[in-house]
Structure 1
């Protein structure tokens, strides 16, 4: 399990955030405008839990978070196990603070401090640790500050997303809370079972990945302004949580976000250097036809190593509609095909189906997803496994 060790490594992050927080709010007070009148509130403000915010749109301090729990049923071909209440690895339970303030000359400053807490996550529970909660499984996700200008772009410093983070996970289907290109998040912890009935040492997450760039690091990052829907970002950094590393990493990513007539299009393409001689190439694109609610999502990744070159392809077809007044209902089916992920000569295939019901007033998504995991290698025979995850994500 991941544990955060608060040490001197983190001191620069917290010090910088502490200095910028009061400064950002102070600047914002000079240009503050009156808060919105009650009559000006939008439908988004009609929610069970109001925004926990001090300030207005020109300068604010905001507390936010989410709780994402459910029931995981996993069948490894030889036995069936239930895990409840399990943390949904697709989108972890987390909480944090944001601050933002407008400055002079069209500049703004902001920051983010965020933790996650997953004592019983779908990415770690398995047949051998069933019922064992790791209450110390907390992780510092973000501790960052930034300055932004519409003309010059956005400059980041601190613990947060590298430029390539999320580049393989663009998804407009409305069902990513229970299924997206990183299909192992749904049930990554359990072990696969050999045909002779014994458990292997291979976890689902060992055989299925999406090569989604470099994740979150202590980094410098720059995002360019958007030109015709296109923007470029790059970052340089190193890992400090959950365990410090002295390896320097860097990446670059190209993103596109645009609506052309009735079709919303989002996509990303990234190149990453993890610092171990490996190169990672990944991309994803998602199209949503807004009048009909139909969507198509594609993702692919390639890891260029000296001994083995792993790669995969992923596709999802989705549909969103207003069946109930409480919020949209989203349906999707997907497929994943991986080669040489766990090792040379291995095949990793998966098929899934997902349903998500939004409860807008309650800021909640009810979800259920089912998935197959099929793994083969040149040495042993492994049984297919099946997983079902159902639960709810509440945002505040």
Structure 2
């Protein structure tokens, strides 16, 4: 049975993304080398999820890069640079808030605040304080491919809350979000330090708290390294990080994550990621995964329109949700830049499989057609 497309207000956002010309940069400079910049984006998508028996199609704000607005202030301060950043999601109906059981739209809440961040940067490195990225945020998602805007190592943005059906057709399985993850770092109210770059390498560490949640008094800390360089037109990005969550009477959780991506001058790219989680409790599992993607991008196919990217990826995990379980995701995608309107369009198909010792579950598949407009 196919449920009809819900024509929610996000449809209008998708139309506006294509109809609006590229906006001029909203940047206001002062006489001392500083500036204030307003920015944001809209990212609506048509998302169709097939759980093996029913298909549900909706228009939602796509969580892979949700709609948001922000304000950035940059000001030179002697030999250093001061930065303030405020950014929040818009709280539109989100792709992670829908399942076969209905919708769980919360509207805008304080957990939609992404950044209230102050930093000072100089030759000695960079110190950041406030709500913002922990050092491990991005360590599992280094990706130089253009199609990476919709096809990357975290595979559950489009269907996070959808449940797997068991062999009897009952929605008795775990959700997609329970069975796949990349353990990437998060945003917290934190103190963070980044070293200067040494031949492409930078190191850093952070400690923070989840102040946007009422019931989370745990400590979060991490450290690691990032690498970025270019050799004769070949670009390389990589990261490795270790992160810990502990305290408040909960089990200590430790993650080791890493990723690397290479973009050749020809447009061909290769991306890999892997992670393992250790939870200090007999009540929890210790999952792990690996990820790989091959992609290609070119401006030759539609030279008067913009860059085109295509890619195929595979994610494989073990012990997610319960010990002895197996999870896998494979997908293909295409992305198209429309320069005239400052829009990135994308189309992806992904197939999700999950099995454990209790039952066999039907595969679940998802198609996403979306457009991201930035200003």
Judge same fold: TM > 0.5, yes or no.
yes
SS at match of 1:100: strand
Cα deviation, residue 202, structure 1: 1.4
Choose 57-66 or 255-264, whichever is displaced more: 57-66
Q: Which residue of 2 aligns with 1:342?
A: 321
| C-alpha distance in structure 2 between counterparts of 1:100 and 1:244, whole Å | 34
Cα deviation, residue 209, structure 1: 0.3
Q: Return 5+ residue gaps in structure 1 as ranges.
A: 1-46
Choose 118-127 or 313-322, whichever is displaced more: 118-127
Aligned residue pairs total 344
In the alignment, which of 84, 92, 105 is matched to residue 66 of structure 2? 92
| C-alpha distance in structure 2 between counterparts of 1:108 and 1:336, whole Å | 40
**Is the 8 Å Cα contact of residues 257 and 266 (structure 1) preserved in structure 2?**
yes
**Is the 8 Å Cα contact of residues 119 and 137 (structure 1) preserved in structure 2?**
no
SS at match of 2:197: coil
In the alignment, which of 223, 226, 229 is matched to residue 252 of structure 1? 223
In the alignment, which of 316, 320, 328 is matched to residue 293 of structure 2? 316
Choose 47-56 or 350-359, whichever is displaced more: 47-56
In the alignment, which of 238, 242, 250 is matched to residue 267 of structure 1? 238
What TM-score does the superposition give when structure 1 sets the normalisation length?
0.84
Instruction: For 1:127-138, list aligned pairs within 5 A.
Output: 127-130=100-103, 133-136=105-108
| C-alpha distance in structure 2 between counterparts of 1:346 and 1:127, whole Å | 23
| C-alpha distance in structure 2 between counterparts of 1:189 and 1:67, whole Å | 22
SS at match of 2:212: coil
Cα deviation, residue 118, structure 1: 3.7
| C-alpha distance in structure 2 between counterparts of 1:200 and 1:223, whole Å | 45
Q: Which residue of 1 aligns with 2:54?
A: 79
| C-alpha distance in structure 2 between counterparts of 1:113 and 1:332, whole Å | 33
| C-alpha distance in structure 2 between counterparts of 1:247 and 1:232, whole Å | 24
C-alpha spacing 1:380/1:137, structure 2 compared with 1 (3 Å): farther
Cα deviation, residue 386, structure 1: 0.5
C-alpha spacing 1:133/1:123, structure 2 compared with 1 (3 Å): closer
Q: Return 5+ residue gaps in structure 2 as ranges.
A: 1-20
| C-alpha distance in structure 1 between counterparts of 2:329 and 2:194, whole Å | 34
Choose 350-359 or 179-188, whichever is displaced more: 179-188
Cα deviation, residue 201, structure 1: 4.9
In the alignment, which of 163, 187, 193 is matched to residue 222 of structure 1? 193
RMSD: 1.5
| C-alpha distance in structure 2 between counterparts of 1:63 and 1:78, whole Å | 45
